[in-house]
Amino acid sequence: MSYVFCNQCGHRNPPGASFCSSCGDVLDLPDERTVVIAQVDPMQDAPGSKDNATIRMGDISGLGVLVIRSGDLTGSRFTISKDTTKIGRNPDSDILFDDISVSRSHAEIVNSKSGLVVRDLGSLNGTYINQNLTEQSPLRHGDELQIGRFRMVFFSKADILS
C-alpha cells in the first residue's frame, strides 16, 4: 500500500486519495509534493511546529529514504541504497544511532525480490513498524520505523509510482 502525504498538514492518506482526510487540502502529483513531517512530542502532546522535517518527493533517490521525525536528529535523512543496510549503535553500522536505547546490531533493511524487508536482529528494545513490534516486516512508503527512541518515516518513489 502506497500512502499519499498532505502538503498542508503532513497527514498520511490512503492511496489514490485526492483530498486530505484531515484538513481537506488537495493532494498533488508525487514528484511535485513536499511533505512536512510533524515532530513527535515525547510527552505525547500536540506535535510541535518549529522543528518539523520536510522532504521533496522528487528528491528521493536509491531504494528509498528514512527521515527522522523525533529527537535531536529530526529531519536527518538516510538513503537506503544497498542490498543490506545495517542499523545500530555499532560504529560499523550503515545507519548509526549512538544512543543507549539502540542495540549494537539492532536491525537491518534487506532488499529482497518482494521489496524491502526490515529484520530485527535480536535487539533488547525491539523494532517497530507503524507502532507494532515486529521481528520481520515489509517496509513500504509511508511506514513509520522505530528503532529505540528514533522514529522515522520511510519514503519510496517506487511505491508511489507503482
Dihedral of alpha carbons 45, 49, 53, 56, sign:
positive
What are 96-117's pLDDT values in tens digits?
A: 999 999 999 999 999 999 889 9
> CA nearest 147: which of 133, 159, 160?
133
Report the relative pairing of strands 84-88 and 95-96 from DSSP bridges: parallel
Transcribe 17-38 into DSSP letters: -SB-TTT-PBP--GGG-EEEEE
> Which contiguous run of DSSP H or E holds residue 151?
strand 150-155
29 or 71, higher pLDDT: 71
What are 6-63's pLDDT values in tens digits?
A: 777 778 888 778 788 888 887 765 555 555 555 555 554 444 444 555 555 556 667 8
Amino acid 150: pLDDT:
93
Q: How far apart are CA 37 and CA 70, in angstroms?
A: 10
Amino acid 161: pLDDT:
44
> First and final CA of the chain: distance in angstroms?
10
The distance of Cα 64 from the centroid of its chain, to the nearest Å, equals: 9
